Chain A
Amino acid sequence: DAGITQSPRHKVTETGTPVTLRCHQTENHRYMYWYRQDPGHGLRLIHYSYGVKDTDKGEVSDGYSVSRSKTEDFLLTLESATSSQTSVYFCAISESTGGSANTQYFGPGTRLLVL
């Protein structure tokens, strides 16, 4: 299994509070991704990073920001959490974006409940 951890694994918060989720990898992979998974929608890309301090938006980026100051860490921040952001959040990593090296490996996920 790829060395990917996420913290926290579970979090309950209140509407309007800031929340930061952390993804940590030990594989030295260049690419890191944040997805959310909701019933009826499948996995949807929020933001991704293609290197230290290099990030870009995905399909559902509104209300989220990211930062990557080190190769191994990719942070997802909800500046002011809303109930619609209740979801399971997965981090993924890949070595490259070409060929089979683009295979993405997923972390264990964070379950976030916004009350």
Chain B
Amino acid sequence: GQNIDQPTEMTATEGAIVQINCTYQTSGFNGLFWYQQHAGEAPTFLSYNVLDGLEEKGRFSSFLSRSKGYSYLLLKELQMKDSASYLCAVRARSYSGAGSYQLTFGKGTKLSVIP
């Protein structure tokens, strides 16, 4: 099985930087995804890491350390619209069906941005 842990809730101030951590334990690791989900809406794709290191995309960056089973999502210059849940998802080999890769999601981190 797989185990993915991320903080339940975080609060940060508008204009600041926040780091959302995700730790995982899995076999057959093949990538890590971050999604953003506003209340009442669908998850939307933010970033993908498969190799160690930092991936930067505008105000958002994501880091992966495969040896430590650790990732973080870094949000810079926080805006009120960044208030949302952030979902960490690990892709690993599925040994059923087509032998494809499947995503397992963490429970999500609810980020509140305050003025």
Contact = CB atoms under 8 A, between A and B. Distances in A.
Nearest to A41: B107
Contacts of A105: 45
Given A102-B91, A103-B48, A45 B100 contact: no
Contacts of B45: 103-105
B97 interface: yes
Interface residues of B, number: 24
Chain A interface bracket (under 10, 10 to 19, 20 to 34, 35 or more): 20 to 34
A108 B97 contact: no
B58 to A, nearest CB: 17
Interface in B18-76: 31, 33, 41-45, 48, 50
B96 to A, nearest CB: 6
Nearest to A109: B42
Contacts of B42: 90, 106-109
A57 interface: yes
B87 interface: yes
Given A42-B108, A109-B42, A50 B100 contact: yes
A56 B31 contact: no
Contacts of B108: 42
Interface of B: 31, 33, 41-45, 48, 50, 87, 89, 91, 96-98, 100-108
Interface of A: 31, 40-45, 48, 50-51, 54-59, 90, 97-100, 102-109
16 contacts: A40-B107, A42-B105, A42-B106, A42-B108, A43-B43, A43-B89, A43-B105, A50-B100, A54-B97, A54-B98, A58-B102, A59-B104, A90-B42, A97-B101, A102-B91, A108-B42
